[in-house]
Every structure is written in structure tokens, then in C-alpha cells.
Amino acid sequence: MEYHYITIEGNIGAGKTTLAHMLAKQYNARLILEQFADNPFLPKFYENPGQYAFPLELFFMAERYKQLKELVHTKDLFQSITVSDYLFTKCLLFAKVNLPEEEFKLYQKLFDIIQPQLVQPDLIIYLHASVNKLQQNIRKRNRPYEQAIPDQYLFDIQETYTNYIRQHNIKTLFIDAGNADFLGNEKHLQVILDALEKEYSSGQHYFTLP
């Protein structure tokens, strides 16, 4: 496979981490997972977004940078493929939704300093699901602080992601994951595995699951 650094992205509850685990196992790949549980501001943010959005996003950016910068300096002889369940640009996309304009401008300045230092993925797999499906998945995984996420917030995140993908000529596999069950349906995973065997031009390439 020609893709050595694959990033899986999508909205909250889209199934990113599940798919990342499965692809890492399939390809004996190095796995990079977002350490969201380490962010002390996350539960506070859902209770009081206005007060905690800025420290929340700063913490996430620092932690993501700390994880991903190691890719620049390390090379595992036994694991030539890396799979991640987040894109560093996620920092900017969530900040755009969560921060007021002046704070976002400051945040973007910091992002623009840090981002060029990181390795960019060869391919993005974007999992797209309806807000209803996302809410079902969120309830199913039962993280207490996520249970009151408003539909509108998920709509805003979804729109920000899709606009970014459309506006940037990034090599992206856009997966309709509305009925995705990667753990329970082997055919769903096989669609992804078959897709990864092909070469793609820049831009979006659309797939549906059987």
C-alpha cells in the first residue's frame, strides 16, 4: 500500500477510533489516538462553553502537537504505516465553531506557527453520518459529559468539516457512514480495505457501504 500516513476524521461519534483500531490491526500500523480523556476542560466546556472553550482548544492543540511531532523524528522499522484518528487541522475547525472571533484570530496565529512543523497525512478517510446517527452513537458509548450535546452543535461541526474538505484539495475518501458497523459487518470494513488498494488524485472520492 502506498499510503504510509492515514488519518481518519469525522464528527463526534462518527466511529473514527473504532476504524483506526481495525486498520492498525489489519496493516500492523502504528496507531495514534487522540487522548481526549486527558483534557480537564472537556466536561467543563459542555457545562459552560463560553468560559472554557479557549483553554479547551489550547489544551487540545498542545496535546495533538506533542503526539504528532514525534512522527517527524521517529521511524519504526517494523511499522511503516501510521494510522491516526484525528487530523491536526481539527484544532482549527473546532476552534472556529467554539471560539468568539477575537479569540479565534489569536488561536489561528498559534496554529499557523505550529502546523507547518508537522507531517501531513497521505490520505484522509472522512466518515460522514447524519446527526441522528451521531446522537445514537454518542448515547451508545455513554460518556456522561457528551449526553447533552445539542443537535445544532453537531450540525455546525459537520458543516465546518465538509466546507474545509471541499475548499482544500486534500486527497480524501469520503465515506457515507450512515449505516456503518465496522465491528459487526465485515463487508463495511472491506469497502475501506479495497479503497486503500487504489491510487487517487487530489480531491474527494465518495464511497457508500453495502
Full set of structural domains in the chain with CATH: 5-208 (3.40.50.300)
> What does the pLDDT read at residue 78?
59
pLDDT at residue 200 tops 80:
yes
Sign of the C-alpha dihedral computed for residues 18, 23, 28 and 29 taken in this order = negative
Confidence band for 2, pLDDT divided at 50, 70 and 90? confident
Order of all β-strands in the sheet with 30-32: 30-32, 82-84, 5-10, 123-128, 172-176, 204-208
Q: What is the pLDDT of residue 70?
A: 81
How does the average pLDDT of the chain come out, rounded?
93
Closest CA to 145 of 35, 10, 37, 50: 37
pLDDT surpassing 80 at residue 54: yes
Parallel/antiparallel/unpaired status of strands 204-208 and 30-32: unpaired
Which pLDDT score is estimated for 1?
76
Segment 124-148 shows an average pLDDT of 94
At 38 the pLDDT is 82
Selection from 178, 174, 180 nearest residue 195 by Cα? 174
Per-residue pLDDT band for 11 (boundaries 50, 70, 90) equals very high
Q: What is the pLDDT of residue 73?
A: 67
* pLDDT tier, 160 (very low <50, low <70, confident <90, very high otherwise): very high
Quickly list DSSP for 112-131: HHHGGGSPPPSEEEEEE--H
Give the pLDDT mean for 108-120: 95
Q: Is the pLDDT of residue 135 over 60?
A: yes
Confidence check: pLDDT of 67 > 80: yes
| Residue-level pLDDT at 121 | 94
Q: Which amino acids are annotated catalytic?
A: 85
Is this prediction's pTM over 0.85? yes
Q: How much is the average pLDDT of 177-192?
A: 94
Q: Using only C-alpha atoms, what is the Rg of the chain?
A: 17
When comparing pLDDT for 170 and 104, which is higher?
A: 104
Mean per-residue pLDDT, 57-62? 96
Give how far Cα 114 sits from Cα of 61, 106, 118, Å: 9, 13, 8
What pLDDT does 37 receive? Answer: 77
Q: What is the mean pLDDT of residues 148-152?
A: 95
Residue 72 confidence (pLDDT) above 90: no
